Amino acid sequence: MDIKIFEVLSEQKLITKEELNAVKVFNEQEPVSVHRDLLTALSAGILLLITGLGILIYEHIDTIGHDTIITLIALGFISCFIYCFRKSSGYSNKEVKSPNVWFDYILLLGALLLLLFIGYIQYEYNVFGNRWGMAAFIPMIILFFTGYYFDHRGILSLAITNLATWLGITVTPIEILSANDFSDERLIYSGLILGTVLIAISMFTVKKMIKEHFAFTYKNFGAHILFISLTAGMIHFDDIYILWFLALTLASLLMFRDALKEKSFYFFVITALYLFFALSYVIIKLLYYISDDIGIFYLGLIYLIASGVGLIKVLMKYNKKIKSNDSLRQE
């Protein structure tokens, strides 16, 4: 609770001093919320449930049989979706609150079981044949519909992940660098297009006021994919790396502008880190182009240390600036 707001109201004689003191006492005695802890525990529970079911199926596959497993998975996700459709208040362009604490997790469980179902029937019966794109395209459409209809950002993230998979890009945080071959020019260009489109969608959702709270999810995926693709292009296309660096710099300037406008320290930080890496790559490359003796090595090392310290100071400065602007706006 922001006490400053009530102090301003007291100064303007809109509330009495006794009421202000009562608010201060209540704020000091406000109980600690365990809501986030419970949500984290429920999310972990769903992941453990899916993992446990996977292990159980793997160990007893010969006894249970594939048809039985597929039927149980189908019944599971159908039951989850039926429950959610009955409890849902329907689609709205605005943010829709969940009808109860279990709703979001039952919906997430249903979505995960759906993905498991499609993956299982493709693996066991090869229903899509060699058209692997269909195995990602069909759940992608379902997940986008589900995410928007039920207003679920987690399922929207799954949908975007399936969209990237359909284009041949792995975007899970752990595997985005290790599982993608960024020496593949097609993958680099696909990443550029996908990242740009996702950022454009985030801007569109805000401008048209269609699920504005989804903008962060789109922009988060889009920014990382775009910057990684630009960085990969700078490294891969060695003859024209400076053009890729200029493109990355332009994208960074635009992202800095939006981050300051939206007072988003998160996007300011990730943009600064990507730009820092790209700039360091160019400077080190230029230094070694001049000479490859030991003196250039130490010069490059000094640059990395000095620029790293400078980056930390810049981030601290803008963090304070963003926080001070927020406090002034609240007052």
Whether the CB-CB separation of 174 and 57 falls below 8 Å is answered with no
- Of residues 96 and 174, more confidence is placed in 96
Whether the CB-CB separation of 105 and 48 falls below 8 Å is answered with no
pLDDT at 91 over 50: yes
Neighbours of 307 (CB within 10 A): 14
Place of tokens 């362009």: 93
**pLDDT band at residue 331 using 50, 70 and 90 as cut-offs:** very low
Question: pLDDT tens digit string along 180-206?
Answer: 566 778 889 989 999 999 999 999 999
What is the model's pLDDT at position 176?
A: 55
**pLDDT band at residue 30 using 50, 70 and 90 as cut-offs:** very low
**pLDDT band at residue 12 using 50, 70 and 90 as cut-offs:** low
The reported pTM is 0.77
pLDDT at 324 over 70: no
Backbone angles phi, psi at 16, to 5 degrees: -80, 165
Query: Which DSSP string do the residues of 216-261 spell out, in sequence order?
Result: HHHHHHHHHHHHHHHHHHHHH-GGGHHHHHHHHHHHHHHHHHHHHH
What is the DSSP secondary structure assignment for residue 29, as one 8-state letter? T
Q: Give the rounded percent of residues in the chain with a pLDDT score beyond 90.
A: 39
